[in-house]
Amino acid sequence: MKMQATQPKRTLLTATSLVILSPWLMAGEKDIVPVQGPLKAAETSMDIPSSFHKYYGQRVNSWKDSERAIAKVDMDADMNMDGHISNTDPADGGAFEGTPPGLQVGVGEMTKTVIRVRPYRVDFDGEVVIGLEVAGINRSDRSGQFGSFDEEVSSTGRIRVWRDSGRTELLLDSANPDKRYVEFTTQYRVYPYNLPDAIPRIVYVEGVSSSKNHIGDLRLLLTCSHRKIGSSPQQFVESRKVLLKSFRTSFDHILFTVLPQAAQKEFINNNAEGVWLNVGPSTK
């Protein structure tokens, strides 16, 4: 009778387990369980990915192309806190934007955020609509939604978005129901329509009050959509319910965590670009 060779038992670790335990594994430690901090972050339905597709513009000789978009949008910030925002630096974009804690800004601190719009050469009638929307995320619920606006404000931090560093034009306020969405429109006759007189290329995000229950509890969403002639304005949340569109909406977003005080930074340029500004605690 042949004897079957016994195989040594092996412990299988998932990729997620290896990522979480890698600091302890590399240090040679065993049986160490990571301790969670006071702020936890769970993925929700509001953690939408940045939009992407396999080509630019519109397929040749296919006017019914369902994948065509008006423009590609991108929003970048100084995620690695070195005083420089780079579109080619992986540490300033990608998964860091949509993974808690996202961009960490202190109370009384303001940081620059860059908006990029790349128009596609497609034929259309109507308006190009660039939208900015701020919302709190309920990371205790899979949907990410709160039961009411009052619950959202009391459970999350607060940020304000300004068009200029002097804070003379307020665009968004996460704690003000009338300042949760703003849009910029341009007619199809104007090309290119990504000029700064129509669409801001830079906005400034101010930390007003610190995040309470979770990290990455605030989301700044950038969208680019098409509005037909004669149609009324609507927010991105409402427009997503429309299944049949002439152009697909493109979008990008950044998560924010507001800290009680500004985090330590190491600038490579002495903050010469004015990416980070100390504006002091808000009195409003």
32-64 pLDDT, tens digit per residue, is 334 343 355 678 888 865 554 444 444 545 555
**Residues of the chain under the 50 pLDDT cut:** 1-38, 52-58, 60, 236, 243
Q: Which of 236, 25, 28 is nearest to 135 (CA)?
A: 236
Q: In the prediction, which pLDDT does 25 show?
A: 36
Residue 58 lies in a domain: yes
pLDDT at 150: 96
Residue 105 has a CB neighbour count (10 Å cut-off) of 27
Please give the backbone phi and psi of residue 278, each rounded to the nearest 5 degrees, phi first: -100, 110
Close Cβ partners of 77 (under 8 Å, ≥ 6 residues apart): 85, 92, 97, 103, 111, 112, 113, 114, 205, 254
d(CA 211, CA 190): 41
CA–centroid distance for 268 within its chain: 24
What pLDDT is stored for residue 38 in this prediction? 37
208 found inside a domain? yes
Q: Comparing C-alpha atoms, which of 244, 228, 227 is closest to residue 236?
A: 227
User: Is residue 270 included in any domain, yes or no?
Assistant: yes
pLDDT at 237: 52
Output helix, strand, coil percentages for the chain, rounded to the nearest 5.
10, 30, 60
What is the C-alpha to C-alpha distance for residues 99 and 104, in angstroms, rounded to an integer? 12
What pLDDT does residue 233 have?
66
The tokens for 10 are: 């092996």
- DSSP H or E run through 238: helix 236-239
**Residue 55 placed within a domain:** yes
Q: How many Å apart are CA 218 and CA 109, to the nearest integer?
A: 16
pLDDT for 92: 82
**Any domain includes 196:** yes
The domain tally of the chain equals 1
pLDDT at 268: 94
The answer to whether residue 26 sits within a structural domain is no
| DSSP E strand boundaries for the chain | 71-77, 103-106, 109-119, 127-136, 158-162, 170-173, 181-187, 202-209, 218-227, 250-259, 276-278
The closest alpha carbon to 232, from 172, 175, 165, 185, belongs to 185
Residue 6 in any domain: the answer is: no
pLDDT of residue 23: 37
pLDDT score for 251: 85
Strands 103-106 and 250-259: parallel
Question: Could you tell me if residue 36 is inside a domain?
Answer: no
Residue 239 belongs to what domain range? 42-278
